[in-house]
Structure 1
Amino acid sequence: MGTPPPPLDAADRLPLRERKKLRTREALVDTALTLFTERGFHRVTLDELCDAVDTSKRTFFRHFTSKEDVAMAPLQDLWRAFLADLETREPTGGPLMELLQEALLTALDAAPATDWPQRVRRSRRLAAQNPSMDAHGLRFCQDTSRAAVDVLHRRFGLPATDAIRPRLAVDLLVAAFHCALDSWSSLPGDPTRGNLATHLRDACAALPEALTLTTAPAS
């Protein structure tokens, strides 16, 4: 699934070669989102995108698998950082949902505070207009969920025979994030990364009551 780019402070400490690769990747994401927004996703060829960044298609494919992949990089990087956090997070013995929530909040806190929120909003607007991006996002979400469950079984002592509850926990986190993202995206002005974290906490806090919510009796 690839690895997320390092946070900005960590990127400054990378070797020169790695810093150049990171700058190229960031330029591809920014340029792709700008061109796709201005001219339409399907009207911009991969050759045109690479020419705009003054790089080759070979270099593009070192970073991304497709136009859909580069256009959805902002949120995909967040979930890759979430998986990376799970790989190093120490077990606490507490509720699994709390662990998953903290891992995602940590990944969100590491996202660039300045340009990342604007990238996410542009990416989401493009996805809403282009079914191929929506399908790509669904596949990525499924792959991420499976990878997260694998980490949970491998690192946190969950029984190998318990395939349902860990997957449901991950799916609930993903659903809470999507609810938070929808409400965050509708905020006026330029919502921040911190605003999204607040909406995520609120959505996660609502999960227990959502599971016990009752319907009104028939009249």
Structure 2
Amino acid sequence: MATPLTAPTTDPGCRVLGLRERKKQRTRDALVDAAHRLFLTQGYGRTTVDEIAASVDVSQRTFFRYFANKEEVALAVMSDAEDYFIDCLRRRPADENPLQAMRAAITEAWLELGQDDQSGPAGVTAALELFELLETTPTLLAAHLRRTTEQEGVVAGVLAEREGLDAAVDLRPRLLAAVFGAVVRLSHLSWTSDTAAHAAGPDGMIALIERHFDQLGPALAGSWR
């Protein structure tokens, strides 16, 4: 089952993959799919690398060709989604201001990934369910937050390049990237407790993200009274 986070015959840069690359992509997707199914049904702590590999009928050695550890395969769907968002952000029109570009990119990413959503563990809906797993698994949460910090640096670099700024001197790109990351994480947390948004799946997440961004300006500059 192919993950929806990248097309099965192209990479994020839209390069057509060869036969060998497609085979490797299918193996990676199958490992991610099996890992998520096991994590969601029996828990992260109870799942072993051997079980994940056996579910795909490959060796442990093959598993480690694709992932450094169990933690990395658990975060693969969200990591791929974050990378896809970065790709969308780089393609946004130059006349959009930084916040407009990021809002449009995150919505575009969720819509594109949601179009290919599946009922299986590699789908976007299952990725949303993994947010709940993250919040109850300290090792995964710590790893996710580390990657989020790294992604903020990448986003800041993209914003600085778009605006012709030096991110090492101008604080705005890094500050806006950090605020953006906080808004998205709050949206994820809200999704886990919002029954209506939860039931709506990816569309519910997009609505929550838009709602949180609508409140960003008033929260930062408006009167709260």
Q: TM-score, normalised by structure 1?
A: 0.83
Paired amino acid for 1:102: A
**Residues 134-192 of structure 1 deviation map (CA, whole Å, 9 limit, x = unaligned):** 11001110010011112222343124454321111111211221222222233356433
Further displaced range: 101-110 or 114-123? 114-123
RMSD: 2.5
Does 2:108 align with 1:106? yes
The answer to whether the Cα contact below 8 Å between 1:7 and 1:110 also exists between their aligned partners in 2 is no
Correspondence list, 1:34-113, <5 A: 34-92=37-95, 94-111=96-113, 112-113=116-117
C-alpha displacement of 1:89: 3.3
Q: TM-score, normalised by structure 2?
A: 0.81
**Residues 91-140 of structure 1 deviation map (CA, whole Å, 9 limit, x = unaligned):** 11x32111111122222222133342332233123212211101100111
Greater RCO, 1 or 2 (C-alpha within 8 Å, sep 6+) = 1
Distance 1:42 1:192, change over 3 A: closer
Q: What's the secondary structure of 1:173's corresponding residue?
A: helix
The answer to whether the Cα contact below 8 Å between 1:79 and 1:104 also exists between their aligned partners in 2 is no
CA distance in structure 2 between the aligned counterparts of 1:96 and 1:162, rounded to whole angstroms:
17
Question: Residue 192 of structure 1 is aligned with which of 184, 201, 205?
Answer: 201
Correspondence list, 1:1-219, <5 A: 5-7=5-7, 14-92=17-95, 94-111=96-113, 112-115=116-119, 116-160=123-167, 162-186=169-193, 187-188=195-196, 190-214=199-223
CA distance in structure 1 between the aligned counterparts of 2:215 and 2:66, rounded to whole angstroms:
37
The answer to whether the Cα contact below 8 Å between 2:167 and 2:174 also exists between their aligned partners in 1 is no
The answer to whether the Cα contact below 8 Å between 2:110 and 2:206 also exists between their aligned partners in 1 is yes
The answer to whether the Cα contact below 8 Å between 1:149 and 1:166 also exists between their aligned partners in 2 is yes
The answer to whether the Cα contact below 8 Å between 2:134 and 2:140 also exists between their aligned partners in 1 is yes
Distance 1:101 1:33, change over 3 A: same
CA distance in structure 1 between the aligned counterparts of 2:23 and 2:61, rounded to whole angstroms:
16
Further displaced range: 104-113 or 200-209? 104-113
Q: What's the secondary structure of 1:182's corresponding residue?
A: helix
CA distance in structure 2 between the aligned counterparts of 1:161 and 1:129, rounded to whole angstroms:
35
Aligned-residue identity in percent: 31
Q: What's the secondary structure of 1:41's corresponding residue?
A: coil
CA distance in structure 2 between the aligned counterparts of 1:109 and 1:62, rounded to whole angstroms:
31
CA distance in structure 2 between the aligned counterparts of 1:33 and 1:8, rounded to whole angstroms:
19
5+ residue gaps, structure 2, are: none
Distance 1:165 1:148, change over 3 A: same
The answer to whether the Cα contact below 8 Å between 1:185 and 1:191 also exists between their aligned partners in 2 is no
C-alpha displacement of 1:10: 5.2
The answer to whether the Cα contact below 8 Å between 1:30 and 1:119 also exists between their aligned partners in 2 is no
Paired amino acid for 2:102: L
Paired amino acid for 1:145: E
The answer to whether the Cα contact below 8 Å between 2:5 and 2:77 also exists between their aligned partners in 1 is no
5+ residue gaps, structure 1, are: none
Distance 1:195 1:7, change over 3 A: farther
CA distance in structure 2 between the aligned counterparts of 1:65 and 1:106, rounded to whole angstroms:
30
CA distance in structure 1 between the aligned counterparts of 2:217 and 2:133, rounded to whole angstroms:
33
